[in-house]
Structure 1
Amino acid sequence: KFFLSVPDGEEKLKAMIDRIKGGGHIPGMTIPWLTKGKGLLMMSCSGEPLRDAEGRVIGGVFIGKDMSTLERAGIAATKVLNKKVEEEVGKNYELITLMFMSNAALVVGDSSMEILKGVVEGYNNRFNKNIEVKEGIALTNVPKKEWPSFLAFLLTTFYECIGPATFECCEGIESIKDVVEEVKAKYEG
């Protein structure tokens, strides 16, 4: 489930994100995030606070089994988001990628991270870019206007690796419906 946390102020939100990143997780990965006792606590969290069109912090997105596990991790003031998460937080490409990769981790497991790294490397080489994967699945250096083409490249590469299961990973992400249809048309006629 996706949860939106809206704490009092950006500093508290940043502290929550840092707490998740600094927990007993596998170095460099936030999928899955493990407690020190190796119990699965949550799938992931957004790497940065989510902002509205005016740049105001509106919260952070955390993915976990249920609200009580998030509360044990120190994540407060959360609410469950519906399947159309981006309707509540705006068209946020980092969030879209987070949702897709979280779904991919459930569908294909750890290999989803290797595919993501391959996508970034391939995109960088092909288009002479410097995109990086930071702290699990957070992507940096993606120019805002290039996100749609990067997402198309991501879906195409995933399709070449895992086939139609790619579209299972897109379920509930309404804002990329057009990109999904383009990739489907390309491969499934």
Structure 2
Amino acid sequence: MADETAFRDALAQHAERRQGGQEILMALQENETTPRSRGRGRVVWAAAAALAIAGGVIGGTALLGSSPAAYAVTKNADGTVTVSIKDIKAIEPANAKLRELGVRAKAVPMTSDCAPLNGASMYNGSDWDVPNGVSNDSVTIGTKIPSGYTVLLSVSDKPGRGTGLGYTGPVQGPAPSCVLDPADDPDQRATN
């Protein structure tokens, strides 16, 4: 609802600017009757055109606003962290925020040419906080992740998947730079 109100306010401001610009142009047309004023008229017309263009740029920016955030990393009151990544290009800034918050999780791209995760490097215990609230938009990570392990957040940019945001169980050692897309994993295809 707040977005709709902001949009309507911006639209009203844009309409007011356009109306003001039109009134200036009409006044200039009415005043341009003598040959002597034509030289000045051109300068005034150029100034009016520049004003109209500037108003259009300002109005366009107000109407369009900024694009939605490509990522969000939010620390919740209960200590969990909710991560949303809408653009694969936002992986690095999201990871920087995760590191800043001390969360042992890392966002990585999901690709068709990445090596499959080694089962030996996966955490086998059940005493960790499995991410919850998983949707195509976000995942909430708990604070209990085994020491020396990292939860991987996979981000896909394949068409028809939205962000394709997902996660793995904790992985031991240095976190890989990507995860294999399950659609391209022969082990995954064999079990489905």
Q: TM-score, normalised by structure 2?
A: 0.25
Q: TM-score, normalised by structure 1?
A: 0.25
Flag the structure with larger Rg: 2
Q: Which has the higher helix share?
A: 1
